[in-house]
Structure 1
Amino acid sequence: MEGQGIGRGQQPERRRRGRGVRLRGGGVGRQNRGRGRRGRGHMRVPDEIRATLVDHVLNHGLTMAEAGRRVQPDVGRTTVSSIIQTSCRQSRTARQLHRVGRGPLFTPEQEEAICTMVVENNAIRRREIKSAIIEDNNIFENIQTVSISTTDRLKRHQMNMKQLYTVPFERNGERVKELCYQHVQRIMELEASEPPHNFIYMDEAGFNLTKRRRRGRNIIGHRATVDVPGQRGGNITMGAAISENGVLTHIPIIGPYNTERLVTFLDTLYRDLIPEQDRGQIGDDLPKYVIVWDNVNFHRSNIIRQWFATHNRMLMEFLSPYSPFLNPVEEFFSAWRWKVNDRQPHTQMTLLAAMVTACDDITADACRGWIRHSKRFFPRCIAREDIRCDVDENLWPNRQERQEV
């Protein structure tokens, strides 16, 4: 009847005849139709089923669709067609291994030869490696041309670009090796003797206002800059002594250290080490303090020798030449410079304050770590081995041996 509303569940005639909203790829249960094989994904047919499909089609005369329906799971007609074509053209039913590119250019033996070039000459350039490969008709006889980028693919052998450390020629001479041997022997004898000997490592390092970090960050195409005073100012020298208890004494002065200023430093160190009530005591059972330092001229002056002669509990031991790796205070100054830079001093007075407070940031644990690191060179000095550098890669070629004992 006209004028009456349409009840629930009823629809107009024209809507019943319409097709309604058409879903891409079909309705419910047909989500993957109309999209090719994207819904199914790539099917990898095992070799046994491939052989079965070839037998059904070529030997038993089945159609490709029938052969595909007889195996489990079902294989599409186009897949069966591809397998049959491969069987007819290449006489094989097994799948080929997936390969990308042309494969490796160098054999393992050739890669080992390139690594040997780098180990023998750490400053070698990639162009030089390329020339050596092309000119070598023995190991690289099958290589007629090679790109520079290919010669740099040595990361699988744990080789990478890094900073070059300069090594003096005299360091590994026979004379210096013998002096290193004698120094280590002397230190080990003092460690084992009675009364106990406490080792103190002392050195001096200069600083000025223009010293800053050498590396920074900025947007590609723009230089990294930092503001510094226009005048570098006078050098300020820091004298410092460390032991297993941390930083003992540190005195900055304007200008370089000399014999007179070194005596002042030693007097301060003596007062810091020995309490006032114990300074006049004499006895073989009292602990002694051994100052280890380098061979700079004013360390060997007669005034310094007289000072040690009048202070019977203080001894001195000279490092062998070209062996800063045996003095842990070198690593102390390396860390100390970074801490001074972090304070960004712009005047001489602020620089003096920054140098003093930076020493307070060095912990006793860090000093003990540097001392342990220097003692790891003792076996190599005893064996009179060549010591190229004091970095971990030369000390422990095997990564598993880098753990502290």
Structure 2
Amino acid sequence: MLESPEERGKATRFAKQLGIHPRTAQRWWAQYRESGEIPYKQSRFNNGPECSFTSSHQDFVQNIIENDPQIFTEDIIDRLSEKFEGFSISKSQLNHHLRNTMLISVKRPTFEAEVRNSAENLQTRYELFMQWKDSNLDFTQNCVFIDESGFNINLRNTWARSKKGTPAIVEIPKTKAVSHTIIGAINASSILYVALKKPPPKKEREKKTTASTPKKRKVNKGKKRPVDDFIIEEPPIEYIDLPEDVGGGKEIAQPPKGTTTAHFIKFMNELLDIMDLDEGLKGSYIVMDNCTIHKSAPMIRKIESRGYGVMFLPPYSPELNPIEQFWALVKGRLKRKRLLTDENLSSRIAEACNSIPAENLLSFTCHSKRMITNCYTKTPF
């Protein structure tokens, strides 16, 4: 403003360029005209004691936080006092420096397994890339992605509103709800098949039976569906055969609560029937994580005999499977509604799945496709 006298009357524009209030610029200009001296912002002058928090302290604190992001303020102060003799700082001063000087804030953490980006796992991802780099596999063109996810009626957002000074209390039907497992298959353009596996009824879970003769629990026989008919059954797999008693009078093992190889094989049989009806899916690759239940040798042979390929992803690599993002979005939509009973859970899941646009599926797949480059460069993700 002082260097352009012909523009002196336009203090507002110069104030915006300098990042100061227009009234401040006008006052400074008036002071300059009266005294001929350049005014300075008084707050720049520190009349108090010199700050004892130096760049050495910043580097030390930065290293502490990188090693332990959840460290408490008191522990940081203790570490500083041990490292720098005679150093003293209050909690409020340290928090001020963290927020304003070092730009470090407190936020909700994302927890990851320690081995997710270990050197061994990065090497495993690299070997996966080298194994498939010369094939015709393309995530956006000829791949079907499979994974399981757990749901229950207590799905809620991690935030809530309440009056200032009062706790945000959210009432839920049960403190511990029964989990339901969903197995799904998607590709870059559509949801191919989703099935719900419910746990056995409570009376069956709690009853301890002794066997004089072997007993079996029935398996529901699912019906074949056309490709465009997306259904969550009630449920497609509810019970599996129990092992026969070999000792006489011994308790029969209770059926596993999670997804078993038997559940997965039944799901895959129905999925393959659906894929066979669509000519565009012929020769596709079925991509899934390296979970034990996915690695049934007879199932792999059956998939390959039907003309499809199988790709197992490296451990701790959710970014490579687009259905992980799909399930996250489904759960996010479920959290917006109140699930009152187990009975309406499956219908709500179906609504949430069907509400996801096809362009989102393509975005998920493109993201995972980009992450494959990180496998080659051994870049953590």
Identical residues among aligned pairs (%): 21
Q: Do the aligned residues in 1 keep the contact of 2:155 with 2:334 (CA within 8 Å)?
A: no
1:101-148 CA-to-partner distances (Å, cap 9, x unmatched) read: 5365434454344333323432232222222333333xxx7x732112
The residue type paired with residue 236 of structure 1 is H
Q: Report the equivalent of 1:135.
A: 82
| Alignment match of 1:167 (pick from 107, 112, 137) | 112
Q: 2-side partners of 1:233 and 1:97: how far apart?
A: 61
| Alignment match of 1:212 (pick from 156, 181, 200) | 156
Q: Which has the higher contact order (CA 8 A, sep 6+)?
A: 2
1:174-227 CA-to-partner distances (Å, cap 9, x unmatched) read: 43222211223334333469xx96112110111122332332111133222233
Q: 1-side partners of 2:261 and 2:39: how far apart?
A: 83
| 1:239/1:106 CA distance change after superposition, 3 Å | same
Q: 2-side partners of 1:347 and 1:197: how far apart?
A: 39
Q: Do the aligned residues in 2 keep the contact of 1:47 with 1:95 (CA within 8 Å)?
A: no
Q: How does 1:13-52 map to 2 (within 5 A)?
A: 44=31, 49=36
Q: Report the equivalent of 1:273.
A: 275
Q: How does 1:110-189 map to 2 (within 5 A)?
A: 110-137=57-84, 144-152=87-95, 153-155=97-99, 156-189=101-134
The answer as to 2:293 corresponding to 1:298 is yes
How far has the Cα of 1:100 moved from its partner?
Answer: 5.3
Q: Do the aligned residues in 1 keep the contact of 2:81 with 2:87 (CA within 8 Å)?
A: yes
Q: Report the equivalent of 2:241.
A: none
Q: 2-side partners of 1:354 and 1:208: how far apart?
A: 11
| Alignment match of 2:264 (pick from 236, 247, 262) | 262
Q: Report the equivalent of 2:377.
A: 383
Q: Report the equivalent of 2:18.
A: none
Q: How does 1:363-382 map to 2 (within 5 A)?
A: 363-382=357-376
How far has the Cα of 1:317 moved from its partner?
Answer: 1.0
SS in 2 for 1:270: helix
Q: 2-side partners of 1:178 and 1:49: how far apart?
A: 69
Q: Which runs of 5+ in 2 are unaligned?
A: 1-26, 200-257
SS in 2 for 1:169: coil
Q: TM-score, normalised by structure 1?
A: 0.62
| 1:210/1:295 CA distance change after superposition, 3 Å | same
| 1:222/1:199 CA distance change after superposition, 3 Å | same
SS in 1 for 2:116: helix
Q: Do the aligned residues in 2 keep the contact of 1:246 with 1:364 (CA within 8 Å)?
A: yes
How far has the Cα of 1:232 moved from its partner?
Answer: 5.0
Larger Rg: 1
Q: Report the equivalent of 1:342.
A: 336
How far has the Cα of 1:308 moved from its partner?
Answer: 1.1
Q: How does 1:292-331 map to 2 (within 5 A)?
A: 292-312=287-307, 314-331=308-325
The residue type paired with residue 240 of structure 1 is G
Q: 2-side partners of 1:49 and 1:236: how far apart?
A: 78
Q: 1-side partners of 2:346 and 2:153: how far apart?
A: 10
Q: 1-side partners of 2:54 and 2:71: how far apart?
A: 21
1:211-269 CA-to-partner distances (Å, cap 9, x unmatched) read: 32332111133222233224855432111122211322211121343333323322333
How far has the Cα of 1:47 moved from its partner?
Answer: 9.2
Q: Which runs of 5+ in 1 are unaligned?
A: 1-40, 51-93, 280-285, 391-405
The residue type paired with residue 218 of structure 1 is S
Q: How many residues align?
A: 291
